[in-house]
A and B are shown apart, each in its own frame.
Chain A
Amino acid sequence: MLEEIRTTEQDDLVINVGPQHPSTHGVLHLVITLNGETIKKVEPHLGYVHRSIEKMCESLTYRQFILTTSRMDYLSAHINNHCCVLCVEKGLQLDVPPRAQVIRILMDELTRIASHVLWWGAFAMDLGAITPFFHAFREREVINDIMEETCGTRLTMNYMMPGGVMYDLHPNFQKRVHEFIKLFKSKLPEYHELVTNNVIFQERTKGVGMLSYEDAISYGCSGPAARGSGVSSDIRKLYPYEIYNQLQFEECLEYGCDSFARYQVRMNEMMQSLSIVEQLIDNIPEGDIQAKTKAVIKLPKGEFYSRVESARGEFGVYIVSEGGTTPYRIKFRSPGFSNLSALDQMARGQKIGDLVAMMGSLDLVIPDIDR
Chain B
Amino acid sequence: MFNEELLTALPGIQSTSSFEDGGEWLTVYTTDWLHLAKKLRKHPDLLFDYLFCLTCVDWKTHLTMVYHLSSTVHRHNIVVKSKLDRDNPEIESVSHIWKTAEFHEREVFELFGVNFLHHPDLRNLILPEDWERYPLRKDYEDPVNMIKL
Q: A217-B50, A331-B55 are in contact. Are A341 and B100 (CB under 8 A)?
A: yes
Residues of B contacting A: mostly: loop
Q: Which chain B residues lie closer than 8 Å to A98 at the CB level?
A: none
Q: Which chain A residues lie closer than 8 Å to B126 at the CB level?
A: 46-47, 50, 370
Cβ-neighbour of A318 out of B66, B102, B128 (below 8 A): B66
Within 8 A of B (CB), among A279-330: 305, 307, 314, 316, 318, 320, 328-329
The digit string for A214-249, where 1 denotes a CB below 8 A from any CB of B, is 010111101000000001110000100000000000
Chain B CB within 8 A of A338 CB? yes
Chain B CB within 8 A of A337 CB? yes
Among the stretches A53-61, A154-162, A349-357, the one at the interface with B is A53-61
Q: Which chain B residues lie closer than 8 Å to A231 at the CB level?
A: 72
Are B147 and A232 neighbours in the complex by a CB distance under 8 Å? no
Complex Cα spacing A55 to B58, Å: 12
Q: A218-B49, A333-B53, A341-B103 are in contact. Are A55 and B135 (CB under 8 A)?
A: yes
Chain B CB within 8 A of A10 CB? no
Q: Which chain B residues lie closer than 8 Å to A55 at the CB level?
A: 135-136, 140, 147
- Total CB contacts across the A-B interface at under 8 A: 80
Chain A CB within 8 A of B144 CB? no
Q: A47-B127, A338-B100 are in contact. Are A314 and B52 (CB under 8 A)?
A: yes
Are A215 and B128 neighbours in the complex by a CB distance under 8 Å? no
Chain A CB within 8 A of B125 CB? yes
Complex Cα spacing A338 to B53, Å: 9
Q: A50-B127, A55-B136, A305-B68 are in contact. Are A318 and B53 (CB under 8 A)?
A: yes
Are A305 and B103 neighbours in the complex by a CB distance under 8 Å? no
Are B99 and A59 neighbours in the complex by a CB distance under 8 Å? no
Q: A52-B135, A329-B58 are in contact. Are A47 and B128 (CB under 8 A)?
A: yes
Are B136 and A217 neighbours in the complex by a CB distance under 8 Å? no
Q: Which chain A residues lie closer than 8 Å to B84 at the CB level?
A: none
- A and B contact pairs by CB, cutoff 8 A, 11 listed: A47-B126, A52-B147, A55-B136, A60-B149, A219-B100, A231-B72, A233-B72, A331-B53, A341-B100, A341-B103, A370-B126
Complex Cα spacing A60 to B58, Å: 18
CB distance from B123 to the nearest CB of A (A): 10
Residue on B with the closest CB to A64?
A: B149
Complex Cα spacing A316 to B52, Å: 9
CB distance from A47 to the nearest CB of B (A): 4
Complex Cα spacing A314 to B72, Å: 14
Q: Which chain A residues lie closer than 8 Å to B57 at the CB level?
A: 320, 328-329
Residue on B with the closest CB to A320?
A: B57
Chain A CB within 8 A of B51 CB? yes
CB distance from A326 to the nearest CB of B (A): 10
Q: A47-B126, A54-B136, A341-B100 are in contact. Are A220 and B52 (CB under 8 A)?
A: yes
Chain A CB within 8 A of B19 CB? no
- Residue picked from B55, B58, B102, most chain A C-beta under 10 Å: B55
Complex Cα spacing A222 to B125, Å: 21
Are A238 and B149 neighbours in the complex by a CB distance under 8 Å? no
Cβ-neighbour of A220 out of B50, B66, B136 (below 8 A): B50
Q: Which chain A residues lie closer than 8 Å to B102 at the CB level?
A: 341
Q: Which chain A residues lie closer than 8 Å to B136 at the CB level?
A: 52, 54-55, 329
Are B52 and A46 neighbours in the complex by a CB distance under 8 Å? no
- Residue picked from A54, A316, A329, A333, most chain B C-beta under 10 Å: A329
Q: Which 3 pairs between the two chains have the least Cβ-Cβ distance?
A: A220-B100, A47-B126, A341-B103
Chain A CB within 8 A of B98 CB? yes
Cβ-neighbour of B72 out of A45, A232, A307, A318 (below 8 A): A232
Complex Cα spacing A231 to B135, Å: 35
The digit string for A336-364, where 1 denotes a CB below 8 A from any CB of B, is 01101110010000000000000000000
Q: A217-B49, A318-B53, A318-B55 are in contact. Are A47 and B125 (CB under 8 A)?
A: yes
Extra contacts besides A47-B126, A217-B50 (17): CB < 8 Å: A45-B125, A47-B128, A55-B147, A56-B149, A218-B49, A218-B98, A218-B100, A219-B99, A220-B51, A314-B52, A316-B53, A329-B58, A338-B104, A341-B99, A341-B102, A342-B100, A370-B126
Q: Which chain B residues lie closer than 8 Å to A318 at the CB level?
A: 53, 55, 66, 68
Complex Cα spacing A47 to B72, Å: 31
